[in-house]
Structure 1
Amino acid sequence: MTEEVVAPGSLIKNLLEDPDIKIQLPSDDINKVHFQYLSTPPAGISVDSSGMIRITEWVDRESICPNKELCRIQVDLAIQPVQYFTLVKVILTIEDINDNKPKFAEARVTHVVSEITRTGTSFVLPEISDPDSPRFSVQKISLQPITEQFELKTSLQPDGSQEVRLILRGALDRESVSQYRLQAIAVDGGDPEESGILEIIIIVADANDNHPVFDQDTYEVTIKENVPIGFVITRVHASDLDKGANGHIVYKFSSETATNLHSMFSINNDTGQIIVTGRVDHEEGAIWYLTVEARDQGEDPIPTETLVIIHVDDVNDNAPEIMIHTLGDSGDNEAVILENTVSGTFVARIVVNDRDSDDNGRYNCSLYEDHFVLDPFGSDFLITTRGILDREKKSKFSLIIKCHDYGKQALTRTTFLQVSIEDINDNCPHFSEESYFSQITENNYPKTVVIQMTATDPDYGDNGSVQYMIHGRESQWFNVDPITGVVRTRVSLDREVQSYHEIIIVARDKGIPSLSITTILTVNVLDTNDESPEFTQNVYIFHVYENELPGTEVGQVEAIDKDSKQYNQHTYHLEVDPFSAFHIDADSGRITIIDMLDREEEKIHVMSAVAVDTHEPHFSSSATVSVYVIDRNDNRPQFIYPSGHNNTVYIGNDLSPGSIIAKVEAEDKDEDHNGRIRYELIDDSDEERYFKLSSHTGVITLIRTLQHIDNGSFLLTLIASDDGDIRLSSSSKLYIIVDKSLSRSLITDNNDMISNVIIIIIVTCVFSVLIIGLILSICIICKRNHGNRKRRYKYDKKTLGTLTGKDDREYACKLFFRKEED
């Protein structure tokens, strides 16, 4: 007996200390016996040759014996050598612990229920499961919070599962409560107890008045297991008193039923006919429980359920199945025994199973061979020797085992057991060399021959028949023909993954016990140029200040070629246009500038760096290089207003202090603080007394009355400076003319005019940018056509732009404008 939480490596029992076994063995020879499997134990449990039962890995009781109160495992063993031969049946009982929580099939379920739904109506909730044994499985399910309208009802289904239903016990009133939020809490029998929660949302809604009603609460039918596909088993029928869509009924299986059907049955949604759609086998399921739902097609339909019970009658359609368990590794239908063993020596255990029931499943077996005996052993049979066998007289026996059942039309199964009589194995195979060496070029085809291994064994028959195998992890790359010893590759080898392989080759004879010898085969993998240089990064990001001198280093890229030194050389180049300002060193990958950069022309330069293998074939790879140009304060603020042709403002003398006179504006092509502009008014005693300039907005306001000035003028000297570390500035002048004849309304109109002028200026600027962009595009085309690197533009009265090249030749790109006459 063991618990499922026993740690791997734990000793469960020493069979040699068991009194029932100990009494059958002589005390002075007890250390000479060993145990051997007749049936393979389940995963996690092992019995070694000395009879020690151990846990080899964590045992999960729920996967071995799901939902069973008692979990027992049977392991069949044989005690050897032959003079002590005894069959041992070991029964292990695995005790359950509460290591699983109850769990609903869904975490949340929503039902839309009509407020006129009759009390007593039930709603099936998602299935609750707990794979622990019944003692630790679900013990109770409660509803929280407790309400007068609803209660839970659980029922044990014929298949052992629990069905949980929500029962409506009180009338619903949508105007009072439109929604209920409940929880179904399932608690198991553990200490401490575990629980699972299902959130239930009930939405109260209007619906049709009647729901479908089945003719029967339960339908029960019996069919034979060999009915053909398409056979109509039965027909369920429900009626609905409503008319139209509210009375039109559609049938379907419940979700739990549909999940468990395995495509064996289907239902006609319109007629309610249940049809066979798969192979019906009594041995797979003698009884099927199908839950059928009927619902109308009205709004908020309320489904009604009925239970269909299908009994599957057995027919004698299964012949007895025969399984042969023998000692050793000779195979299920082969047995090997040594010559001269005593009469009654164990040969094989015959396990018979007939999946049919009653007489159809009862069986008997017989053996047709004079040198062997077939005796009952519980529900199984044992084959033992009759007399002493001599290999020199006969080395092999073919046993015919025939089993039949007791059905009216009996079915029979026959199988064969090959029994080989072998010599004693006393020689190991021998390799012709102590170790082997070979080599192969990488990227080979799978199944390429590497070498042929040869080992000999002077023994006779299987004792001298050598088989080859590869031991260890190298078997994933190589295999060896077990007969010829030819070693081949399984896959294409990659020197960059592993440059050599040390393969353990095992030569083993077929004797019992088998003897073997090992040798080491070293395979060197030769290199080819099959790797592309790979950049260490997919994207490189560098930063450089504008106006740096040619030759300044921007950064360095690096690519690595996994090939050997013979093939891992590569060069670098940039994929850029011929006029690029960047250069990369072909050997080092160092990127430098070959022309000064202007951030105001282009902030980011994106290019591809390419690494190309210098050997054939020329493999290559690329990476993206992004160079961000860092701003320097190399542009002065430029006044937009006032300008040389627009620098005068006319005002009347009746403006009140605080009135806005004008708004100056300047621009700076630099960014951040280098492009942030502050305005100043040069200290002048007269102007300072009357006007104030906002350093941030550029708004000029009147700070004193002008009523004492009939006519006059002011000259304001304006300074626009940036916030760079070394500030740059420019100046402009603004004339303010005071004219008494100008009224306040005219001034207002003047202010409106100023606003309109600003709008016109903005539109003009946008249009100018578009014209300049067009000119630049045309000039770039000209530049590419004539191979010039640098371009300079100047204004020409006859043309919009003139491109001057290095060779002092001029290329003019002219745009002609024609004035259309009215």
Structure 2
Amino acid sequence: MWVCCGGVLRVLLLVQAAWWVSVGQVRYSVSEEAKVGTVVGRVAQDLGLEAGDAEARRLRLVAQGRRASVEVSGASGELVVSSRLDREELCGKSAPCALRLEVLVERPLRVFHVELEVTDINDNAPVFPVARKNLSIVEFNTLPGSRFPLEGASDADVGSNAQLSYTLSPSEHFSLDVQKSNERNTVPDLVLTKALDRETVPVHRLVVTASDGGRPSLTGTMELVISVLDANDNAPQFNQSVYKVQLPENAAEGTLVTRVNATDPDEGSNSEVTYTATNFIPPSGRDVIAVNPKTGEIRLTGALDFEDVSFFDFRIEARDNGWPSLSGHCSVELEVLDVNDNAPEVRVTSLSVPVSEDASVGTVVALLSVWDGDSGANGRVRCWVRPSSPFGLVSRLSGSYSLVVREALDRERVSEYEVEVLAEDGGSPSLSGRRGVRVSVSDVNDNAPSFSQAVYTVLTRENNAAGAELGRVWARDPDEAGNGRVRYSLSEAVVGGWRSASSYVSVDAESGRVWAVQALDYEEVQVLEFEVRAVDAGEPPLSGNATVQVFVVDENDNAPSLLPPAGGGAGVEAGGGAGGESWSVEGSSGAVPSLWAWTSWGSPAGQVVAKVRAVDADSGYNAWLRYELWEPRGKVPFRVGLYSGEVRTTRALEEADGPRQRLVIVVRDHGEPPRSVTATLSVSLVEGVEAAAAVAAGSSGPRASSVAEEVSLFSSPSSRNVWLVVAICAVSSLLVLAVVLYVASRWSARAGVVSGPGPTTLVCASEVGSWSYSQRQSRSLCVAEGAGKSDLMVFSPNFPPPPGAAAKETQPEPPALLDTVSGPPCPGTRPDFRSRPLLLLFALLTRPMFLGWS
């Protein structure tokens, strides 16, 4: 039967152990005073860890509340005794003595609760308060059966090891009677069994032995010295045998506990009573409780602590002053009431930082334990974190919490959190504790470099030095370390349809500075647009782009160049003379070109004699030309249009002006500093018919003279009039035809010029003004208000460069590269087909007639 019961008991113990493991808690038991190294239990095995996992997963022990004298062996995973285990030191009189331990396992992080019960052994012998006690008993007045309370012994052990029994050495006059004063203590009373006779035995010496219930039993002794006295035969008597008092543990020193009172029916000194406190259980009560020997008032002499001692039991002896003195006794039971005087304690048992900013919700950051020394509602604790996000608390077991990630983290917004864990108990008023936890967030490459602006606009002058800094781009990456380290590179964009951007500029990989690889030429490229790429050093790398537009600002690095007339020559168009007379121009090349023009005597004021044409490869004000008559100075019959280049008469020409006028004309641009070209114009004054013949011949120098000689054959008045009538009729017919052709071809002529093989630019100067043309552009730019003049000249970029001017390589460019000049279109502009086509046509048609007449 006993074998069957033992088997059932073992099964129940195994089931209980399995249940504890399933809920994450294991119980062990060890005897106090166990040797260091004693194996308490196989923690790793009981927690389900495989052999060798204990050390690999860093199995370790964390004690809660009290000092633990055990540790976990990292190699074997066994719970062993590491230092002396003294149950009385750990738990005092509390039973059972249970230590709460936490076993942590990492990789992954888990926590298990281990409860270690330290069992008592009989290692403390009973101890009496005094080794020797003196008693005085009056002879004969003390009747048999009189009782004399003795101070009982105390045993630091608990349970059966603390259950005391008392024996008295053999005596015919005395015996011991053990009384149970309360459910906690038993005290012996000395009973007089036979009347005393002082003359026979004046002093009785007895030994009281206290034995505990341990195996083997331990004993303690106290010697009784009983003196037999005479006289005083009434002992003091208390009004009650037991005084029960309750005090809160925060009662101040000097607080009145209670007041005892004993009376003695004797008279005189035999009735004068003195009070004494004795037999304190636990003995520490002597330090906090005292009785007034005269009044019987019991007051606190120290601070109470419910967590240390919750109950005091002691006796009050009232002794009279008779001879021999007699005494009476009562018991005082003081119950200490708990108050909320212990704030919760928050401890961090494990901390896993830094936390990656891409950590998932629910990731455990720290393990916390919360402990409050109070009991009941005062010891019930609730916890929370501040701020409430992005972390939160998860309760695992009573007093144990996990700090976990509740929301997505962003290191660029917050790189470190100061998390405060607060704990508050249920007392009134409640007490709180707090613990700060610093949680740093580690970076991941989740941000691409971002430029401060999407488009960078840079202005630079042409002809800048190679290696000059044009500007700087900057991209910000809020990541840290390599994830935020940015390098710059240049995208291989094509500029002008044939050259890459890297042939013009370069970008410093570290600083983002943009350098010029070569000198920029406005006449070659006006806008350089490319992309800069910023790449971080993360894994995988992220990148961002920005567009850089470099606008090349024109400088006045090109001097004006004279253009040949439509029919050849060196930059002058001949004008018609008065009375329908016409003449031709001779041009010469060189540093100062020589130009020729003819006009007739009698030409009225304002007559156009010639028109000087020039072009400047620059743009804007650098290409805005002005014409000035440099020589001769003073009063001359000619003037030059400031912006048109037209040479006009200032008055009617006379024979006194001579047969030839030499004019030096300077053409300047408006650049800083201005550049210029000089032309010499020779104007010959001839008869009107000679001038027309010279124009028709389209020759220069000596050829003009021969034509003049041929025309002179028809100088007679009669033939001259006939031919003049014929010429007027022919000219009138041709004029009508020319007008019709002009109206039909007005727009087609302009479109043909603009849409030629190369782009052209029209620049409207001012209301005074002139038109100058660039061989690089294909849009009209108006630089002054007011209606433009009607003289229009358009030149194709396919023309050869002017004499003396260095030809530049030009490449076709995107039509929308420099649409940056704003302004109204030039009003009132139209092609200039006024005089030159009619005069040329007239000269060509009439020349055969003059020649045939000869």
TM-score range, shorter-chain basis? 0.3 to 0.5
| TM-score (ref. length: structure 2) | 0.43
Which one has a bigger Cα radius of gyration?
2
| TM-score (ref. length: structure 1) | 0.45
Q: Which has the higher contact order (CA 8 A, sep 6+)?
A: 2
